Structure 1
């Protein structure tokens, strides 16, 4: 469950609701590619913008169409009571694991975040992955806090932000965290441009945005790293630098949504307003990048 490629698909939607046929196509595409797990309703899945009933339906569709691929479902919300409800919904839908970020409007303290995970894990029968995403939550985990939360029942994984491109620094960061968490807790990396660096530094898996739409390109990187072919993993990642540059400039969600629209895998619009996919010159440039990289 917490090794290899965890692919995070878009949840195509418009103001009328979720585009269920488009979402199912994306899930089936990932299952056919043989990804190691699917992360439904992550940040790429726009989970905060959906009502509870919509999130339950997306979770059900993901599980029903993933075949033998385990599905992890995001359960983040502003209030603890809502997180617990969403956790119960995800489990009823058949999720193999849940993903929880400390979502907030008022900035949370370390003790409040610990209390969140402590309360939620008491209600779970499936594993939980800690979602460390300061870019969206504006909360920065310390390694010590990760260590405390990792002791809680059902915690089995941590999704960390991008590691350094410096190999020694990246490995030191992963080893520092690993020394504080139980051996049962996997450490995975996010930030697509850092996927190869994180895997080569000792991370167990890569939580990937690009893997949610282009699973084969991501799998090539993961399988090379798993085989001990560190330079090949880096080479394959560096080949995607034009795409990583767009991720950094516009955000992975806008870029991947636009790519899905360009490929005909999602209708336009595919994002919840006021967020919009790329337009004008940026859209044209992305199309050229995808063609250059042979992703279309």
Structure 2
């Protein structure tokens, strides 16, 4: 399951609640496009801003509308008890897999993170993906800690941060990590601009933000890399450089993705939980220009 393209949609919401109809439409589009899995309640899904009940609702809506596509549900929370509650509700909803980041307010130690994953993995009946995202959690996994956690029951994938934009160094990074984990544990790349480099370096999956909006575009890149066509995968990524530039300029993918979703009518405005905001003014116009330039809307019409 933790291979190929895992598309991560937004969770459109306002201060009154989740926009359920809009969310269902996003999930249905991903399922129709034939993505390999749908990842909900990741960072793109703004999971820390949702209540336990809202997260359970998202999990249920996802499974009910994903058809035969596996759904991976994020369960991260500040306290282990809440992680366990989220895991139970996601499994009850029919999730095929779970995604766990070591969320913290106080900086966590390696032993605390290991104990979190050990406690959670023992309670699961579905596979678990380790979410390594230091940009939001402010926790840096060592390869050795990944190796320890990967031995735990139910751990089946590691979602690593973007690799360096150097094919040889990226391959060395993947080889080094793979030597420390069981053969059945996959490695997935996150950070859309690094997807081609990561997949070409041997990553098994792309955990993708842009795939949550434009799955056909992301699938083309993924399938090229899976077929060993590194040149085509790199070319498809290079063609999206205007979008990657927006990510870099605006501090990541979330606000850019939210702005695109609003501009193209996939979600209503606003779609992010306060105090977060999609881009406005001249920044918004710049995003609109890139969407038009790349003709990304054609993907959603497909």
* TM bin (shorter chain): over 0.9
Q: Note the alpha carbon deviations across 1:228-284, whole angstroms, 9 max, x for none.
A: 100100000010011011112212111101101111110000000000001001111
Q: Note the alpha carbon deviations across 1:80-100, whole angstroms, 9 max, x for none.
A: 000000000010000000000
Q: Note the alpha carbon deviations across 1:21-57, whole angstroms, 9 max, x for none.
A: 0000000010011000000000000000000000000
3-state SS, counterpart of residue 148 of structure 1:
helix
Separation in 1, partners of 2:288, 2:29: 20
Find the counterpart in structure 2 of residue 271 from structure 1.
Answer: 272
Alignment of 1:74-93 (within 5 A): 74-93=74-93
The alpha carbon displacement at 1:74 in A equals 0.1
- Which ranges of 4 or more aligned residues in structure 1 deviate by more than 3 Å? none
Separation in 2, partners of 1:261, 1:208: 19
Q: Note the alpha carbon deviations across 1:91-140, whole angstroms, 9 max, x for none.
A: 00000000000000000000000000000011000000000000000000
3-state SS, counterpart of residue 104 of structure 1:
coil
The alpha carbon displacement at 1:187 in A equals 0.3
Separation in 2, partners of 1:227, 1:182: 24
3-state SS, counterpart of residue 180 of structure 2:
coil
Separation in 1, partners of 2:120, 2:37: 22
Q: Note the alpha carbon deviations across 1:125-163, whole angstroms, 9 max, x for none.
A: 000000000000000000000000000000000000001
Alignment of 1:65-144 (within 5 A): 65-144=65-144
Structure 2 unaligned spans of 5+: 298-302
Deviates more, 1:53-62 or 1:250-259: 250-259
Alignment of 1:215-230 (within 5 A): 215-230=215-230
1:29 aligns with 2:29: yes
Q: Note the alpha carbon deviations across 1:2-25, whole angstroms, 9 max, x for none.
A: 111000000000000000000000
The alpha carbon displacement at 1:164 in A equals 1.2
3-state SS, counterpart of residue 89 of structure 1:
helix
Alignment of 1:139-150 (within 5 A): 139-150=139-150
Alignment of 1:162-201 (within 5 A): 162-201=162-201
Could you tell me the TM-score, scaled by structure 1's length? 0.99
3-state SS, counterpart of residue 124 of structure 2:
coil
Find the counterpart in structure 1 of residue 294 from structure 2.
Answer: 293
Find the counterpart in structure 2 of residue 52 from structure 1.
Answer: 52
Separation in 1, partners of 2:130, 2:249: 26
Separation in 1, partners of 2:239, 2:105: 38
3-state SS, counterpart of residue 99 of structure 1:
strand
3-state SS, counterpart of residue 5 of structure 1:
strand
Structure 1 unaligned spans of 5+: none
Separation in 2, partners of 1:48, 1:176: 32
1:206 aligns with 2:206: yes
